[in-house]
Structure 1
Amino acid sequence: MKLTELQQQFSEYLLYQSSELADLKITGPFAAEQLMALYRNNFYISITEYLQVCFANVAALVGEDFFAQLAKAFIIAQPLRCASIEVYGSDFANFISCCEQAQSVPYLADVARLDWAVDRAKSELQHAEFPFARLAALPGAAQLEIYFQLPPNSILLASNHPVLSIWLGVKQGGLESIDMHSQESVIICPDRIEGAKITALSTTQYQFLAAINNQQNLQSLSKLDNFQQLLSASITAGFINNFIREGEL
């Protein structure tokens, strides 16, 4: 049997897709089933612990046992495909949104999205300031064709639930005073001091930043109501820290 076939069979056993061990030719003082059961158990524990660190507020909301079941189902449905585990949780929120067992907590997927956004923001090591001098050096016509940029690993999140209030409530130990019928939008950006900064946005602020994220140029943005005020406030807050020119997309 080729190495790739052995690896595939090993993977299938870990993911409960096969119970056949004969071709793996496992030898030692313990039965192959015992050794593989031990390895499989450690495999799930290790990845579950990683997910629990990334999605600490999800785990706090549903409890350790339910989170372990959720993580195991995710690992089986979407197994690790590369050696690096760093971005493995990127689809966890979407998995939760489709998971029947999680439907009783309708805001859980958005809490997972916020958890993941914070994790990604903290991974960003570069913190640039907006290049005002470079912008001023461009001719007026060229300025109209620039595209503003959010900081790398920044994420906009518009939720049908009070996601930030819930997220903060979990950390502070209380959800009782939250209006669960409200909606919240936030931006999560890398922060030089805190690692990640979460800011609640008004509908207008969110729409403005979403337009930037959707690569609308300055000429298009300038037609929006309160453009100058929104732009100035966004740069000051660190929501916009760069721009690129036409042709650099």
Structure 2
Amino acid sequence: MHRLRELQRDFSRFVLQESQQLPTGVKSMGLSAEQRLAIYRNNTRLGLTAALRDSYPVVNRLVGEGFFAGLAAAYIKSYPPQSACLLAYGAHFCELISGFAAAQSLAYLADVAKLEWLWHEAYHAADARIMSAAALAQIDPAAYGRLVFKLHPSARFIASEYPIARIWANNQADDAGREYIDLRNGACCLLLYRPDRQVEIDSLDQAEYQFLRLLAVGTTLSRTVETVLTDHPDANVPILLQHCLLKGLLTDFYLADV
């Protein structure tokens, strides 16, 4: 059993190009061990590259097939799969892009990749029953400050210096490259969530973004309101909370201990 585990380890390292040392114990059977393992290595690389393209179609469109293949090869070497589920593969692609020398001229690319992965996560997130406004009516108004809300499992957030939502929308299969986008004017705060079958990308102002981010990490309503109004005195908190309800972002709540 121990020898089998070592063979599996060495096989994995060779196929994922972590090692050039051929595993011992591989029988030729018509092909040399090196030729046989090269087939596995090539098929693995192609399969993982295809999985990355499926998760990052906009990055692929922006940089082209050849450049993307280079990104994928670097990613596969730096981040070998840890699970048999390919849906989970690619979570660190934006980090790879941030440090990829040939991509430094595309300053927005890492943020676009992050947006695509958050879209991927939101799409595959669990469903949840939406909380009704009537549920809040049963709470004593004196206890409102202790409310802690739970957001929909699909809710994801990203802020960028670049108009990444417009770049993403402008590079969908049916609407590619039709709009000129000025990268100098487009900082954005975005919410991604899946209220039904489709992922929505909403642009938020800074007060709404801060409000939702605080709620998402379990901050009480009183502390959230205090923080938001300190940073954004003109924020309309009741409207912000109403928007959360209308969007179907809130799924549950509880009262925090004093």
TM-score, structure 2 as length reference: 0.88
C-alpha RMSD over aligned residues? 1.9
Report the counterpart of residue 32 of structure 1 in structure 2: 33
The residue that corresponds to 1:187 in the other structure is: 191
Q: Does residue 236 of structure 1 match 2:246?
A: yes
2:91 paired residue number: 90
Cα distance change, pair 244–56 in 1 and its aligned pair in 2 (3 A): farther
Aligned residue pair count: 246
What is the Cα deviation at residue 125 of structure 1? 4.5
In 2, the alpha carbon distance for the partners of 1:39 and 1:244 equals 52
1:103 and 1:228 map into 2 onto residues whose CA distance is: 43
What are the equivalent positions in structure 2 for 1:19-98 lying under 5 Å apart? Answer: 19-21=20-22, 23-98=24-99
CA contact (8 A) 1:93 1:112 kept: yes
Shift of 1:242: 2.9
Q: Which whole-Å CA distance do the structure 2 matches of 1:97 and 1:24 have between them?
A: 40
**Contiguous gaps of at least 5 residues in structure 2:** 230-234
Partner of 2:232: none
1:219 aligns to what? 222
Partner of 1:208: 211
CA–CA separation in structure 2 for the residues paired with 1:97 and 1:128: 37
Aligned to 1:198: 201
Deviation at 1:175, TM superposition (A): 6.3
Q: C-alpha deviations, 1:1-27, integer Å up to 9, x for none?
A: 622211221122112232222513223
SS in 2 for 1:156: strand
Name the amino acid aligned to 2:211.
F
Between the aligned partners of 1:100 and 1:156, the Cα distance in structure 2 is 27
> Where do 5+ consecutive residues of structure 1 fail to align?
none
Distance 1:31 1:166 in 2: 48
* 2:62 aligned partner, one-letter code: L
Match in the other structure for 2:151: 150
Q: In structure 2, give the amino acid aligned to 1:187.
A: L
Is contact 1:166–1:175 with CA below 8 Å preserved after alignment?
no
Structure-1 residue corresponding to 2:176: 173
Which has the higher mean CA deviation after the structures are superposed, 93-102 or 20-29?
A: 20-29
Moved more, 45-54 or 219-228: 219-228
CA contact (8 A) 1:234 1:240 kept: yes
Q: How far off is 1:240 after superposition?
A: 3.1
SS at match of 1:23: coil
Please give the alpha-carbon distance, in whole angstroms, between the structure 2 residues aligned to 1:142 and 1:5: 60
Displacement after TM superposition at 1:220 (Å): 1.5
